[in-house]
């Protein structure tokens, strides 16, 4: 799997890629709501707007309590996914790809450029609202909770998907007469073994640093069905929860 497919992605590694994610600070969700799971529904039509060029005054009370979010394009290559904040979304090749994706989501889901920090907060609606692409957070036509719930739902669909196991697993690859054992956790390749790992080797490997790699994540994501559906057997007993092993590929 990884050994067979990785050379294809090494071309991108040679291009000195700097993988990033979108981290959102200041997001509001009503009553501690969590991002919804599953496919996103189609965005309903934006509310009627006035002709282009006409200003939409923002009520003074709403203006005084509203502020833009802070969007950070956080480098994630080589970082530990377990330390990422709950409002960190996506895994992109570079910042430009992340920005283009967010712009597309904003247009499709009626998100407000003022709330996203792309336009200054003023006593009028944003340009996107005048064009019918924003649902009116900037004009006081929707609450911050409503806007941010839609934003988080759109970003959550970008991944990374939750790791489908409570801890590390061992993936066994077999090519002809040769097998390798890969210790994987949180979409990170932790260790590689040329022989079946002993309990002591697994314990030592689990203490190794977790370093996210975009190419490894993309490969493992493509094998998500394997991780979820293959029968699981128990590895040799260790201190703590046992490490499951995915059956060898035929």
Q: What is the mean pLDDT of residues 122-139?
A: 87
Is the distance from CB of 106 to CB of 30 less than 8 angstroms? no
Q: What is the mean pLDDT of residues 95-107?
A: 94
Residue linked to tokens 């991002």: 35
Partners of residue 171 on adjacent β-strands: 182, 246
Q: What is the pLDDT of residue 63?
A: 42
What residue spans define the domains of the chain? 16-156, 169-246
Q: Rg for the chain (alpha carbons), in Å?
A: 23
| CA distance linking residue 126 with residue 149, whole number of Å | 20
Where would I find the H helices in 72-180?
Answer: 95-108, 127-130, 144-156
Q: How confident is the model at residue 38 (pLDDT cuts 50, 70, 90)?
A: very low
Q: What is the mean pLDDT of residues 123-129?
A: 85
pLDDT at 115 over 90: yes
Give the other-Cβ count within 10 Å of 94's Cβ. Answer: 15
Before 151, cis peptide (omega within 30)?
no
Report CA 195 to chain centroid distance, whole Å. 34
- More confident: 51 or 124: 124
Q: What is the mean pLDDT of residues 57-64?
A: 42
| CA distance linking residue 9 with residue 16, whole number of Å | 12
8-state DSSP, 50 = P
Bridge-based pairing of strands 20-25 and 169-175 is unpaired
To the nearest 10 degrees (0 to 180), the angle between helices 214-222 and 2-14 is 140
Q: How confident is the model at residue 4 (pLDDT cuts 50, 70, 90)?
A: low
Bridge-based pairing of strands 244-246 and 169-175 is parallel
Q: What are phi and psi of 138, to 5 degrees?
A: -65, -20
Report CA 235 to chain centroid distance, whole Å. 30
Q: What is the pLDDT of residue 123?
A: 74
Q: What is the pLDDT of residue 248?
A: 42
Tell me the two tokens of residue 187.
């979409």
| CA distance linking residue 35 with residue 24, whole number of Å | 13
Is the distance from CB of 142 to CB of 110 less than 8 angstroms? no
Q: What is the pLDDT of residue 65?
A: 53
pLDDT at 240 over 50: no
Give the other-Cβ count within 10 Å of 240's Cβ. Answer: 9
- Residue 57 DSSP SS3: coil
Share of the chain above pLDDT 70, in %: 67
Q: What is the pLDDT of residues 154-174, one digit of tens each?
A: 999 998 888 888 888 888 888
**Whole-model pTM over 0.95:** no
């Amino acid at each position: 799997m990884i050994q067979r497919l990785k050379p294809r992605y090494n071309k991108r590694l040679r291009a000195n890629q700097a993988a990033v994610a979108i981290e959102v600070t200041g997001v509001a969700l009503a009553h501690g709501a969590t991002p919804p799971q599953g496919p996103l529904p189609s965005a309903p039509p934006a509310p009627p707007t006035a002709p282009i060029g006409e200003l939409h005054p923002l009520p003074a009370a709403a203006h005084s309590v509203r502020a833009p979010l802070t969007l950070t394009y956080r480098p994630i290559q080589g970082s530990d996914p377990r330390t990422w904040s709950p409002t960190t979304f996506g895994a992109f090749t570079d910042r430009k790809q992340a920005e283009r994706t967010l712009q597309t989501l904003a247009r499709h889901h009626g998100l407000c450029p003022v709330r996203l920090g792309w336009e200054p907060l003023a006593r009028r609606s944003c340009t996107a609202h005048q064009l019918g692409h924003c649902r009116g957070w900037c004009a006081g036509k929707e609450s911050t909770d409503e806007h941010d719930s839609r934003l988080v739902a759109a970003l959550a669909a970008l991944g990374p998907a939750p790791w489908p196991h409570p801890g590390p697993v061992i993936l066994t690859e077999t090519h002809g007469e040769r097998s390798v054992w890969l210790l994987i956790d949180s979409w990170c390749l932790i260790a590689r073994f040329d022989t079946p790992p002993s309990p002591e080797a697994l314990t030592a490997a689990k203490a190794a640093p977790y370093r996210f790699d975009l190419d490894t994540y993309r490969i493992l994501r493509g094998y998500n069905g394997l991780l979820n559906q293959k029968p699981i057997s128990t590895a040799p007993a260790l201190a703590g929860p046992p490490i499951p092993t995915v059956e060898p590929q035929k």
